[in-house]
Homo-oligomer: A and B are copies of this chain.
Amino acid sequence: MYFWSVISVSIIGTGNVAFHLAKALSTSQSAKLQFIAGRSTTQLTDFKAFAEVSTQVSDTFHSDLIILAVSDNAIGEIAEKLQYTNGLLVHTSGSTAMDVLAPKTRIGVCYPLQTFSKRKDLNYRKIPFLLEANHQEDYALLEKLLGSLNAPVHQMNSKDRASIHLAAVFSNNFTNHILTEAAQLCNQHQVSFELLKPLLEETLEKAFLNGPENSQTGPAKRHDTQTIQKQLEALKTSEQQELYSTLTKAIQNYYER
């Protein structure tokens, strides 16, 4: 076990995750943010407030920790260029195995289970970080760094992380699309989408209080074919009708199992 007073960190990538990590780490007492590396100088402009920027990944070689916050498909390729650094190399992807960073052995994963937008400030207490590392010392380093941001951390292997990433796709992307269709229904009839906010908040609260499987109500669950038929006919697009049918059938199948 060893300790660091200050961890030197570089980030590779210029997306939303890179932006928020750079912003947070630039003010952390436990970290010295050294470089942010990216391909395009334009995209690096926003990062100049946080640390030195560079278009050369080699500039990151001397940091204790190099965070690869790039798209899933680019991780392996960039990792190859970094395999001879002494630093710990981690990626931030939920669905990518840690092994993509091999043959380098000081490797790890630092996956923030949250949705990031560039313009919206984040409360790190509400970003669970799922961490993984090949060596216990490197895990401790990640734990210390994220702890300095007040983020809750959880140790999780690549297989379990992929599952929760999949559950996150359901929770975030699919839920958001359902809301997109609901908002569109409101717009079509000039009623305010905002009216649905308390219902959605209560839906979430109940799901985490009693389990979503114990909270289902509505026409699908009670096989109210009259209302189902009426609602299908009221839907204006074939996309909405298909979503309605698929989800109604899914609910009915689930409770008949």
| A residues neighboring B (CB under 8 Å) | 72-73, 95, 113-115, 117, 120, 126-128, 130, 154, 156, 159-160, 162-164, 166-186, 188-191, 193-204, 206-213, 215-221, 224, 226-227, 230-231, 234-235, 239, 242-244, 246-247, 250-251, 253-254
Tell me if B202 and A115 are in contact (CB < 8 A): yes
Tell me if B206 and A115 are in contact (CB < 8 A): yes
How far apart sit A212 and B226, CA to CA, in the bound complex (Å)?
30
Tell me if A198 and B159 are in contact (CB < 8 A): no
Closest to A123 in B: B198
Residues of B within 8 A of A178 (CB): 170-171, 174-175, 178
Residues of B within 8 A of A184 (CB): 213
Distance of A209 from chain B, by nearest CB (Å)? 7
How far apart sit A53 and B52, CA to CA, in the bound complex (Å)?
75
Partner of A246, one of B115, B169, B242: B242
Q: Would you call the interface of chain A mostly helix, strand, loop, or mixed?
A: helix
Tell me if B168 and A196 are in contact (CB < 8 A): yes
| 9 residue pairs, one from A and one from B, having the closest CB atoms | A173-B218, A179-B212, A163-B189, A126-B198, A170-B182, A167-B185, A167-B182, A180-B212, A246-B246
Residues of B within 8 A of A113 (CB): 195-196, 198-199
How far apart sit A231 and B94, CA to CA, in the bound complex (Å)?
12
Distance of A254 from chain B, by nearest CB (Å)? 7
Tell me if A239 and B253 are in contact (CB < 8 A): yes
How far apart sit A234 and B176, CA to CA, in the bound complex (Å)?
22
Partner of A172, one of B115, B189, B218: B218
Tell me if A191 and B163 are in contact (CB < 8 A): yes
Most buried by B among A163, A179, A185: A179
